[in-house]
C-alpha cells in the first residue's frame, strides 16, 4: 500500500538532499536511463551495451526497473538463476537491516549510507556474464497521480546513493511507456537513451519521453530507432519527429538483426562481430556517444 503520511514535497526534498549529498564533485562515472514503448528493444539494448562497456573494462551496474524483471536473463544469466533473483522490493526487510532505513522513516539514517557499486551489488545484486553487475528492483508500488511512495523513494535512493568512481557506469532498463518516467527515479541521470521502432505510436512515446527527460534535467537525450529495415523507415521516423527532432542530442538507426532472435539471450556471437553486422557497428556508435558525453 502507498503510505500517504509522508507528503510528496518532504520526500522530494529528502531525495534532493540525498542527491546533493551523494553526487560529489569527485563523481566520475555516469548514469544512463533507457526508456521507450513496450517491445521496442530496451532490454536488448541495455544488455548489449552493458556487455560492450564491460568488455571495454568499465564496471557496469545494470539496473532492472521493469517489474517484468527480464533483464538478468537478457544479460545471459541462466534461467534457473535469473528466475530465482529476489528483487529489492521483496527484500525490504533486508534493505532495512543493511541500511538502517525503513520505508517512510529513517531518512537521516539513509543519508548516511553512501555505498559504491561493489557494496550495492554485494548486498542486493547479482553478477552476470562479463562481470556485469545486475540489480533488480521488482514491482514498485505505483499509486494515483502525485503519490511518491516511500518504497519508491527508498529504491530510488539506493540507485542515487551509489557514488560512481572513474570507469563506473549505471545503465537502467525501465518498464514500457512514459507514465513512470516522470517519477524522480531517472532524475539525476546524466543521459537518456530513448528507444523506438519505426512505428507512429512508438515514436510518439519517445517524443513525450524526451520532453519528460528534459524536464527531469537530463542534459543528454539520445534517440535510438531500432529494427530499421529500409530507408523508408528512416524517412518515416523523421517525418513523425518533425520539429521535435531538436529534443534529441543525436540519433542512431539500428537495423533489424536476425541474429538477435537466433542467439537470444546468448550475446557472444552477436558481439564477437563475426560476421560483421551493421547492427553491431551502429550499437558501437551508441556506445561511443555515451562515453563521449559521460557526466556532461
Ligand X SMILES: Nc1ncnc2c1ncn2[C@@H]1O[C@H](COP(=O)(O)OP(=O)(O)OP(=O)(O)O)[C@@H](O)[C@H]1O
Return residues touching Mg ion (CB under 5 A). 42-43
Task: Fill in the per-residue mask, 236 to 275: x = in contact with ligand X (CB under 6 A), - = not in contact.
Answer: ------------------x-xx--xx--x-----------
User: For residue 282, which phi and psi values (nearest 5 degrees)?
Assistant: -70, -35
Minimum CB separation of residue 68 from ligand X in Å reads 6
| Residue 279 binding partner per list Mg ion, ligand X, none, with a CB distance cut-off of 5 to 8 Å that depends on partner kind | ligand X
Residue 123 CA to residue 115 CA, distance in Å, equals 10
73 binds, among ligand X, Mg ion, none (CB under 5 to 8 A by kind): none
Cβ-based nearer residue to ligand X, 168 or 257 = 257
Q: Which of 11, 15, 41, 225 binds ligand X (CB under 6 A)?
A: 41
Taking the least distance from each CB to ligand X, the nearer of 11 and 254 is: 254
Instruction: Work out whether 51 is an interface residue with ligand X (CB under 6 A).
Output: no
69 lies in the site for ligand X, by CB under 6 A: no
Contact between 279 and ligand X by CB under 6 A: the answer reads yes
Q: Which of 7, 39, 78, 131 binds ligand X (CB under 6 A)?
A: 39
Q: Is 43 in the site for ligand X (CB under 6 A)?
A: yes
Nearer Cβ to ligand X, position 15 or 136?
A: 136
21 contacts 108 by C-beta, under 8 angstroms: no
Grid coordinates of 216: 527531469
Q: Residues 167-206: x/- map of binding to ligand X (CB under 6 A)?
A: ---------x------------------------------
257 binds, among Mg ion, ligand X, none (CB under 5 to 8 A by kind): ligand X
From the list 271, 237, 278, the residue with the least C-alpha distance to 36 is: 237
Q: Which residues, at least 6 apart from 15, have a Cβ–Cβ distance to it below 8 Å?
A: 153, 156, 157, 160, 184, 187
98-to-52, 92, 176 alpha-carbon distances in Å: 32, 10, 31
Closer residue to Mg ion (CB): 43 or 191: 43
How far apart (Å, rounded) are the C-alpha atoms in residues 102 and 168?
28
Of 42-50, 134-142, 152-160, 242-250, which part binds ligand X (CB under 6 A)? 42-50
Helix (H) or strand (E) holding 53: helix 42-55
Shortest separation between residue 25's beta carbon and ligand X, angstroms: 35
Q: Which residue is nearest to Mg ion (CB)?
A: 43
DSSP for 58-87 reads -EEEEEE--TT--HHHHTT--HHHHHT---
Burial 94-106 (b: 16+ CB within 10 A, else e): ebbebbebbbbeb
Task: Please give the C-alpha separations between residue 88 and each of 143, 175, 177, in angstroms, as whole numbers.
Answer: 18, 16, 22
> Which of residues 37 and 42 has its CB atom nearest to Mg ion in the complex?
42
Per DSSP, the three-state class of 23 is coil
Q: Return the number of the residue (73 or 253) whose C-beta is nearest Mg ion.
A: 73
Beta-sheet strands, E only, within the chain: 30-36, 59-64, 126-127, 133-136, 168-173, 191-196, 220-228, 250-255
Residues that bind ligand X (CB under 6 A): 38-44, 66, 68, 176, 226-227, 254, 256-257, 260-261, 264, 279
Amino acid at each position: 500500500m502507498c503510505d500517504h503520511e509522508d507528503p510528496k514535497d518532504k520526500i522530494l526534498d529528502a531525495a534532493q538532499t540525498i542527491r546533493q549529498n551523494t553526487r560529489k564533485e569527485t563523481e566520475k562515472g555516469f548514469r544512463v536511463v533507457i526508456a521507450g514503448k513496450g517491445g521496442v528493444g530496451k532490454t536488448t539494448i541495455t544488455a548489449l551495451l552493458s556487455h560492450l562497456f564491460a568488455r571495454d573494462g568499465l564496471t557496469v551496474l545494470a539496473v532492472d526497473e521493469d517489474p517484468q524483471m527480464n533483464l538478468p536473463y537478457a544479460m545471459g544469466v541462466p534461467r534457473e538463476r535469473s528466475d530465482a533473483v529476489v528483487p529489492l522490493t521483496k527484500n525490504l526487510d533486508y534493505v532495512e537491516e543493511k541500511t538502517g532505513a525503513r520505508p517512510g522513516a529513517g531518512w537521516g539514517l539513509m543519508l548516511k549510507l553512501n555505498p559504491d557499486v561493489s557494496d550495492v551489488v554485494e548486498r542486493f545484486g547479482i553478477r552476470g556474464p562479463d562481470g556485469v553487475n545486475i540489480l533488480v528492483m521488482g514491482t514498485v508500488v505505483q499509486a494515483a497521480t502525485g503519490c511518491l511512495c516511500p518504497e519508491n523513494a527508498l529504491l530510488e535512493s539506493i540507485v542515487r546513493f551509489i557514488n560512481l568512481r572513474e570507469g563506473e557506469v549505471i545503465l537502467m532498463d525501465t518498464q514500457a511507456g512514459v507514465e513512470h518516467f516522470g517519477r524522480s527515479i531517472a532524475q539525476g541521470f546524466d543521459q537518456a537513451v530513448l528507444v523506438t521502432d519505426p512505428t507512429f505510436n512508438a515514436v510518439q512515446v519517445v517524443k513525450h519521453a524526451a520532453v519528460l527527460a528534459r524536464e527531469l534535467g537530463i542534459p543528454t537525450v539520445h534517440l535510438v530507432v531500432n529494427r530499421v529495415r529500409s530507408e523508408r523507415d528512416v524517412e518515416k521516423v523523421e517525418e513523425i519527429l518533425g520539429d521535435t527532432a531538436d529534443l534529441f542530442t543525436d540519433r542512431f538507426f539500428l537495423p533489424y538483426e536476425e541474429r538477435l532472435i537466433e542467439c537470444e539471450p546468448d550475446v557472444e556471437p552477436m558481439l564477437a562481430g563475426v560476421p560483421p553486422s551493421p547492427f553491431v557497428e551502429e550499437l558501437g556508435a551508441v556506445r561511443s556517444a555515451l562515453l563521449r558525453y559521460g557526466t556532461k
